[in-house]
Structure 1
Amino acid sequence: MFWIVGAGGVGREALDTALAAGMPVAGFLDDRAQGSTVRGLPVRAPKELAAGEGYLIGIADPAVRARLAALLDGLGGRPVTLVHPRAIVAPETELGPGCLVMGGAYVSSSVRIGAHSQVHYNATVGHDTVLAELVTVYPGGNVSGSVHAEQGATVGSNAVVLQGRRLGRYAFVGAAAVVTRDVPANTTVIGSPARPMARRGH
């Protein structure tokens, strides 16, 4: 039995994943919805997690995931890794604590995925790739082999990251972008080939 942190869209998709995997969920932890019920489950405040209880963060924003993981670990929470039975995780692949892998995802051989990272439905992660902590691959994202995504990087829906590229800390690859060059930290890229998004007013 564990709690899903966040009762929004990704949280409910995490619940779908848990139901498919036969893993019982106690309810949701969400400050905004505490005291209500979502999908028939109770919603409590994150600070109410008891020591030793399991949790999985079902929130897309990596900075928010980092803050909540620190809070819940400080309370003695236990991060749970959740993989949909219709996802494929190949041999010699390591999933860190608190990872979420949704249905239809394909994670290839010899991949390392850090704590609290997410691979959404129908996304792919190629061989020998390293996804650091708090990385997100949105639905349909295609991360090729030997890519290194640093902490908090995000690959948007249907985006492609070509082989051997590096995504810096908290880099963001826009939907349907094609990454042909390394992306610096804290940079948003869009288009094909992907280029940094122009800042307004410049």
Structure 2
Amino acid sequence: MIIIGASGHAKELLSILPEEQLIDQLYFFDEITPNLPDKLYDVFPILRNTDQVKEIFTHNTDFAVGIGRPQQRYQVSQKFKNLGGTLTSVIAATASIGQYDVTLEPGINIMSHVIITNSVILGEGALINARTSLHHDVSVGQYAEISPGCNITGGVTIGNFATIGAGATILPKIKIGDGAIVGAGAVVTKDVAANTVVIGTPARVIKVLE
């Protein structure tokens, strides 16, 4: 398996990978960050170009996205799919996931101690960070990022490429539009339009993104 990225969120993914994936050959990929060592933690090789990726894909096409930002997650996913890769989910063993009417699309990251109840949908590439709770009838869009410690209450809809800041609470049946950003610690009491930034308690609009 290849994890895209060799810092930040990629290091967190390493901490929750099942042992069988660590026993199998594991690589990281980073063609941007300067001055990286040849191996992460002196153990895992860091690939620096797509020719190396293609070589790995001749015997294992699995890859996971170790990048947090929604648009970047999407872009690198498409790039690696085009190279012949298979977008793969990484789910912590400590995550609690409901048994009924739960849809988990490919490429999701569900981190440590996440709680997901029943009737929940996670779109492709969604990132659910540690100690977040998603309650009944929640829908999370493609490549959305939910930061650590969020409380997403029942019936909430979060759009594609949206970002929910650390410790935010979204009240029941609220809709968060595509590309919207909810600030850390915000309490969202009404719908948030697409490409809109909100902060505070209760959350208020501070910016509309172009």
- State TM-score, norm by structure 1: 0.92
Aligned to 2:45: 42
2:162–2:181 CA contact under 8 A, matched in 1: yes
Aligned to 2:121: 112
Q: How far apart are 1:185 and its partner, in Å?
A: 1.1
Task: Work out which of the residue numbers 78, 88, 91 in structure 2 matches 1:80.
Answer: 88
CA distance in 1, matches of 2:133, 2:12: 18
Aligned to 1:63: 71
1:78-116 CA distance string (max 9 Å, x none): 011111111101112111111010111001111010111
1:98-145 CA distance string (max 9 Å, x none): 101011100111101011111111011111111111011111011111
CA distance in 2, matches of 1:117, 1:172: 15
CA distance in 2, matches of 1:129, 1:13: 25
1:31 aligns with 2:31: yes
Task: Work out which of the residue numbers 89, 97, 118 in structure 1 matches 2:106.
Answer: 97
Amino acid at match of 1:71: K
2:5–2:65 CA contact under 8 A, matched in 1: yes
Q: How far apart are 1:22 and its partner, in Å?
A: 4.3
1:146 aligns with 2:150: no
CA distance in 1, matches of 2:151, 2:157: 13
1:35–1:44 CA contact under 8 A, matched in 2: no
Helix, strand or coil at the partner of 1:12: helix
Helix, strand or coil at the partner of 1:28: strand
Give aligned-pair identity as a percent. 28
1:49-70 CA distance string (max 9 Å, x none): 2345111101111011111011
2:155–2:172 CA contact under 8 A, matched in 1: yes
Farther off after superposition, 29-38 or 125-134: 29-38
Aligned to 1:136: 145
Q: How far apart are 1:6 and its partner, in Å?
A: 0.9
Q: How far apart are 1:44 and its partner, in Å?
A: 0.7
Amino acid at match of 1:15: L
CA distance in 2, matches of 1:182, 1:28: 38
1:4-44 CA distance string (max 9 Å, x none): 1111211100010105x643261111112466221221111
What is the CA RMSD across the aligned residues, in angstroms?
1.7
CA distance in 2, matches of 1:109, 1:184: 26
CA distance in 2, matches of 1:23, 1:159: 32
Aligned to 2:196: 187
> Aligned pair count?
197
Task: Work out which of the residue numbers 150, 172, 186 in structure 1 matches 2:181.
Answer: 172
Aligned to 1:18: 17
Structure 1: 4+ residue segments shifted above 2 A = 21-25, 32-36, 45-52
Helix, strand or coil at the partner of 2:26: strand
Aligned to 2:6: 7
Amino acid at match of 2:143: L
1:113–1:132 CA contact under 8 A, matched in 2: yes
